[in-house]
Chain A
Amino acid sequence: MELCARELAVWRGERCLFEGLDLTLGPSQLGLVVGANGSGKSTLLRVLAGLASATAGAVTWRGSKLEALPFEYRGDIAYRGHLDGLKRDLTVLENFRFHATIWRGRPEFDTLLEDVALTAVANVRVRHLSAGQQRRASLATLRLGTSKVWILDEPTTNLDTNGRGKVIAWIRTHLAAGGTAVVATHQPDELAQKGALVVEL
């Protein structure tokens, strides 16, 4: 159950974002990706999620390459980037329901809504929520799925102190339950814990 990157390199045109990057993350392990704006954090995360391809090298999950993942491993990797992945014309609850069906997850909507303080707006279209609420809803859907690897790109953007604490607690719970997480962040101190692997770009 390891997420491995071997000799990873990404070039954007003439510019090299990173080269010769090796990374191995097992169960309960946290990877922190830090670096200045434009250093390639998001690109690295997209490559690790299998959404973008690397110029050289390969990413494997449980020993198989991401682009040829066996059917039973599909959906093991969850990714939340700068886009929320929510349908803005559907309500929060409708988005949750859709997500739980697609990711064959647990439909525990009420407790989850309460946990993210969205119960009052459960039947409001996502379009009418604030940026922070949208972010909460988007990250909350992670808990509806059963993914083993969470790849999060600056998950605490737009969140208030309470929301930030909540997301960090979720990541900790996920790690404690044997999950793996890769998080790009500008505040590595919030998340830092023993055994965390820090990738500096």
Chain B
Amino acid sequence: MSAFGAIVRRDVRVALRRLSEAANPLLFFVIVATLFPLALSPNADELREVGVGVLWVSTLLSSLLALEGLFRADADDGSLEQLMLSPVPISVTVVAKIAAHWLMTILPLIALVPVLALSYSMPLAALPTMIGALLLATPTLSVLTALGAALTVSLRRGGTIVGLLVLPLTAPLLIFGTRATDFGLHDEPAAGPLYLLAAFAAFALALGPLAIGAALRVGVE
């Protein structure tokens, strides 16, 4: 457990010292989400309807941007091979790294959603459901992206390939996430899709780290 904490602290500290890099996905998210209302009709009702989808897709793309290089810095400076030889099980390392990056990039992104939702004239009452759905969907999203990052760790520029690998797999998250948000928007019970998102998260967090560990082992060779 102390090893888990140490890896999280290390990654958070490194991210804080390279704040401009950590902030990029966040800025990307804000820019994409604010460009859409400019391109769409200013009609509040229409904006509200498309807003849900736009915010979800922007979240998917920004978290992809945030996590596609999850293991590359560690592979380049040799700390990945050190972590693989260390007594710490590789799946613990993987979960710790994902947790650190989720804290540093995805959580601030979710914190910005209420502000951006205003530019789509979404009612405040719909926000708790949307935030809840995002909190449940982003861990799965992070695990999927980390898997793509692990598979491409030996490539110099893996960004686009990670997108091609991961984005199709995120379709269920998008479907149930937007469905839950829609229910919240129209004051209907959203428990169904939220439970499904929670189930995805449990599944991804239980099995994902094992797959990511195996992919990394191939990657460092």
A residues at B contact (CB < 8 Å): 46, 49-53, 71, 74-75, 77-79, 81-90, 94, 98-99, 101-104, 125
Smallest distance from the beta carbon of A169 to chain B beta carbons, Å? 23
Instruction: Let me know if B78 is at the binding interface, CB within 8 A.
Output: yes
Instruction: Let me know if B168 is at the binding interface, CB within 8 A.
Output: no
B residues at A contact (CB < 8 Å): 2-3, 6-7, 10, 13-14, 17-18, 76-79, 81-89, 220-221
User: Please, how many angstroms separate the alpha-carbon atoms of A108 and B76 in the complex?
Assistant: 28
Q: Which of A50, A53, A84, A98 is B77 in contact with, Cβ under 8 Å?
A: A84
**Which B residue sits closest to A145, measured CB to CB?**
B86
**Is the Cβ of B3 less than 8 Å from the Cβ of A89?**
no
**Is the Cβ of A90 less than 8 Å from the Cβ of B81?**
no
User: Please, how many angstroms separate the alpha-carbon atoms of A89 and B81 in the complex?
Assistant: 18
**Is the Cβ of B221 less than 8 Å from the Cβ of A85?**
no
User: Please, how many angstroms separate the alpha-carbon atoms of A103 and B82 in the complex?
Assistant: 10
Q: Which residues from B are CB-within-8-Å of A99? A: 82
**Is the Cβ of A51 less than 8 Å from the Cβ of B83?**
no
6 closest residue pairs by CB, A with B: A83-B78, A75-B87, A85-B78, A85-B82, A101-B6, A89-B17
A-B contact pairs, 29 of them (CB 8 A): A49-B85, A51-B85, A51-B220, A51-B221, A52-B221, A75-B85, A83-B77, A83-B78, A83-B81, A84-B77, A85-B81, A87-B14, A87-B77, A87-B79, A88-B77, A89-B14, A90-B10, A90-B13, A94-B13, A98-B6, A99-B82, A101-B6, A102-B3, A102-B6, A102-B7, A102-B82, A103-B86, A104-B87, A125-B17
**Is the Cβ of B78 less than 8 Å from the Cβ of A101?**
no
Q: Which residues from A are CB-within-8-Å of B78? A: 81-86
**Is the Cβ of B87 less than 8 Å from the Cβ of A74?**
yes
Q: Which of B13, B85, B221 is A79 in contact with, Cβ under 8 Å?
A: B85
**Is the Cβ of A78 less than 8 Å from the Cβ of B85?**
yes
User: Please, how many angstroms separate the alpha-carbon atoms of A99 and B78 in the complex?
Assistant: 13
**Is the Cβ of A103 less than 8 Å from the Cβ of B87?**
yes
Q: Which residues from B are CB-within-8-Å of A90? A: 10, 13-14, 17
Q: A84-B78, A103-B87, A125-B17 are in contact. List 18 more A-B contacts (CB 8 A).
A: A46-B221, A51-B220, A74-B86, A77-B85, A78-B85, A82-B78, A83-B77, A83-B78, A87-B14, A87-B77, A87-B79, A89-B14, A94-B13, A98-B10, A101-B3, A102-B3, A102-B88, A104-B87
User: Please, how many angstroms separate the alpha-carbon atoms of A75 and B85 in the complex?
Assistant: 6
**Which B residue sits closest to A100, measured CB to CB?**
B6
Smallest distance from the beta carbon of B17 to chain A beta carbons, Å? 4
